[in-house]
């Protein structure tokens, strides 16, 4: 990177007091390149930061003290969402006024909404996320599709789950598509990453939870299953479900009944049905 690009980036970024002084227009600047590389998991893990794109994700990130490192915003988006700019300024989060061209370079969507935050990783250790007394937990085993994973995270949040566990063979929850699909829920409840399925199951069981695996080959249906106590649901891969060794870890394998002619439900929908069924029964007690 040449000295001219570095100096231009310094001028465009402002004076460092948290307020942008000029529009960031150089798509080749070090600042833009550093943010753009966070689209890759290796850089996210190395730097311990990730991108949250869109007003909903950014707004929720700013509600978590210390979670947001910096904010990129087009003038139009900053004017459209003054609450977000105000929240960032109140926390001392640097706001970089960004041209549409630069935002398009940074964003991972076809039609960017003009707001993008660099955030610190928010996951927590398993023992902290699922203490004794937890009532409802979602375990993702070999879930590879980021859109599905983010939707399960959002649904678990809506159902009042205590935590979501992304086991080591599952997608990175900080994948851009996963973050967007979570619609801010990534910042609402404890998220665990990188643990083995067997380790996660052993821990939730020690925490007093019954372990149910959602699978189309389940012996009992969701209508028949005992959902009254603290429950950890295991959800599997979109294409092949849960392997036998994971099914063997569960206390019960449960299938969602199909009343119509559909062959099956997709992962996110099945997870939503199961989590809400547990939440309803628990709240009726």
Domains of the chain: 3-120 (3.30.1330.30), 126-284 (3.40.1280.10)
The burial class, CB within 10 Å (0-12 / 13-18 / 19+), for 265 is: middle
Q: Answer left, alpha or beta for residue 223, where phi above 0 means left and psi between -120 and 50 means alpha.
A: alpha
Per cent of the chain over pLDDT 70 is 92
Residue of higher predicted confidence among 42 and 22: 42
Q: Which residues pair with 213 in a beta bridge?
A: 234, 253
Q: Please tell me the least confidently modeled range out of 129-138, 179-188, 237-246.
A: 237-246
pLDDT at 17: 46
Q: How far apart are CA 77 and CA 81, in angstroms?
A: 6
Q: What is the mean pLDDT of the chain?
A: 91
Per-residue pLDDT of 232-271, as tens digits, reads 999 998 888 899 999 999 999 999 999 998 888 899 999 9
**pLDDT band, very low/low/confident/very high, at 9 (cuts 50, 70, 90):** very low
Reply yes or no on whether the pLDDT at 14 is more than 60: no
pLDDT at 217: 86
Reply yes or no on whether the pLDDT at 11 is more than 60: no
pLDDT at 142: 92
């Amino acid at each position: 990177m040449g000295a001219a690009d570095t100096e231009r980036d310094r001028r465009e970024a402002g004076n460092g007091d948290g307020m942008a002084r000029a529009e960031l227009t150089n798509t080749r600047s070090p600042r833009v390149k550093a943010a753009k590389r966070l689209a890759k998991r290796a850089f996210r893990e190395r730097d311990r930061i990730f991108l949250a794109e869109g007003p909903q994700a950014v707004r929720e990130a700013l509600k978590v003290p210390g979670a947001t490192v910096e904010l990129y915003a087009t003038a139009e988006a900053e004017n459209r969402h003054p609450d977000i700019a105000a929240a960032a300024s109140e926390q001392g989060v640097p706001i970089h006024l960004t041209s549409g061209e630069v935002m398009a370079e940074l964003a991972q969507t076809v039609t960017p909404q003009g707001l993008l935050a660099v955030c610190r990783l928010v996951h927590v250790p398993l023992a902290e996320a699922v203490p004794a007394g937890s009532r409802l937990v979602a375990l993702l085993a070999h879930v590879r599709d980021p859109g599905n994973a983010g939707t399960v995270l959002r649904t678990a949040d809506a159902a009042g789950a205590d935590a979501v566990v992304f086991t080591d063979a599952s997608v990175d929850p900080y994948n851009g598509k996963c973050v967007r699909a979570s619609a801010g829920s990534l910042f609402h409840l404890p998220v665990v990453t990188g643990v083995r399925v067997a380790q996660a199951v052993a821990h939730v069981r020690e925490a007093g939870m019954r372990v149910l695996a959602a699978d189309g080959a389940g012996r009992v249906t969701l209508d028949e299953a005992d959902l009254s106590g603290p429950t950890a649901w295991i959800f599997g891969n979109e294409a092949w479900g849960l392997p036998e060794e994971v099914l063997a870890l569960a206390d019960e394998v449960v299938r969602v009944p199909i009343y119509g002619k559909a062959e099956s439900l997709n992962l996110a929908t099945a997870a939503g049905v199961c989590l809400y069924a547990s939440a309803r029964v628990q709240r009726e007690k």
